[in-house]
């Protein structure tokens, strides 16, 4: 009885946060599940390199040089996590709710992966110098779950820490498991972060915008 009730509660949470969808998608596509499925598995390495070439200089341009801990929020199979630890010359913590994706993530010095459970980022308050969020928020379809994720990001980020957000801002109709939000929607999601648009690129004809800013008090 209790087990059935617990399962129902978790299923309801899973549906609401899209976690159930991500579990199925990761099972079906593996590491490739984190890409626009219009990309083939063979394109994955080249696409990741292209994203690093565009995004890492933008991130480096925002760093002050004293950052040591970076959190890769929604890291999936850790496409960026080891390189992020190198970029800050410190440590990176990749966090994601999908264990199947975390299990695919590459081990490296200064890198660890932790599972997000019940929406909680398993990182202490104010302990991240930088939070990197790459193509995650559009996958959170429910506005209350999105607000909860933003609140968790704020909790974990150092009071003076840097938030770096990469999201799809194409003007397209939403999909059942994806929200095409505007730059303004992301700016207003983090009113405490003094975000600016610092760059962008096109992927399969869709605009990907890059926003960065410090938390401030």
Q: In angstroms, rounded to a whole number, what is the distance separating the alpha carbons of residues 88 and 56?
A: 11
How many residues appear in the chain? 217
Strand residue runs (E) in 15-156: 69-73, 91-96, 111-115, 128-134
Q: Quickly tell me which residue has 């899973």 as its tokens.
A: 14
Cβ-based nearer residue to ligand SAM, 125 or 216 = 125
Residue 18 within binding range of ligand SAM, rule CB under 6 A: yes
Binding mask 121-140 for ligand SAM (x = CB under 6 A): -------------xxx--xx
C-beta closer to ligand SAM: residue 160 or 200: 200
- Region of 53-61, 96-104, 186-194, 205-213 interacting with ligand SAM (CB under 6 A): 96-104
Residue 75 binds to ligand SAM (criterion: CB under 6 A):
yes
Among 149, 163, 210, 211, binds ligand SAM (CB under 6 A): 149
Alpha-carbon distance of 2 to 30, in angstroms, equals 33
Tell me if 32 contacts ligand SAM by CB under 6 A: no
Q: Tell me the residue ranges of DSSP E strands in the chain.
A: 69-73, 91-96, 111-115, 128-134, 157-168, 196-203, 206-214
Cβ–Cβ under 8 Å, residues 173 and 143:
no
Give CA–CA dist 159/208, Å, rounded: 27
Q: Quick check: 105 binds ligand SAM (CB under 6 A)?
A: no
**Cβ closer to ligand SAM: 76 or 161?**
76
Shortest distance in whole angstroms from residue 6 CB to ligand SAM: 20
Binding site for ligand SAM (CB under 6 A): 17-18, 22, 34, 73-76, 79, 96-98, 101, 116, 119, 134-136, 139-140, 145, 149
């Amino acid at each position: 009885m209790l087990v059935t009730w617990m399962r129902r509660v978790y299923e309801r949470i899973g549906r609401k946060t899209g976690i159930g969808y991500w579990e199925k998608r990761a099972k079906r596509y593996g590491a490739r599940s984190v890409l626009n499925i219009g990309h083939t598995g063979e394109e994955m390495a080249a696409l990741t390199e292209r994203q690093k070439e565009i995004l890492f200089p933008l991130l480096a341009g925002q760093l002050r040089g004293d950052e040591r801990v970076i959190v890769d929020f929604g890291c999936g199979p850790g496409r960026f996590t080891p390189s992020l630890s190198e970029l800050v010359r410190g440590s990176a913590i990749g966090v994601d709710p999908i264990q199947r994706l975390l299990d695919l993530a590459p081990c490296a010095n200064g890198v660890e992966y932790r599972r997000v459970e019940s929406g909680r980022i398993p990182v202490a308050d104010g302990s991240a110098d930088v939070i990197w969020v790459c193509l995650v928020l559009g996958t959170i379809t429910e506005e209350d779950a999105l607000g909860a994720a933003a609140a968790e990001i704020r909790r974990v980020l150092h009071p003076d820490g840097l938030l770096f957000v990469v999201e799809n801002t194409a003007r397209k109709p939403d999909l059942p498991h994806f929200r095409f939000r505007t730059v303004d929607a992301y700016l207003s999601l983090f009113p405490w972060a003094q975000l600016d648009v610092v760059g962008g690129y096109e992927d399969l004809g869709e605009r990907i915008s890059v926003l960065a800013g410090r938390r401030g008090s």
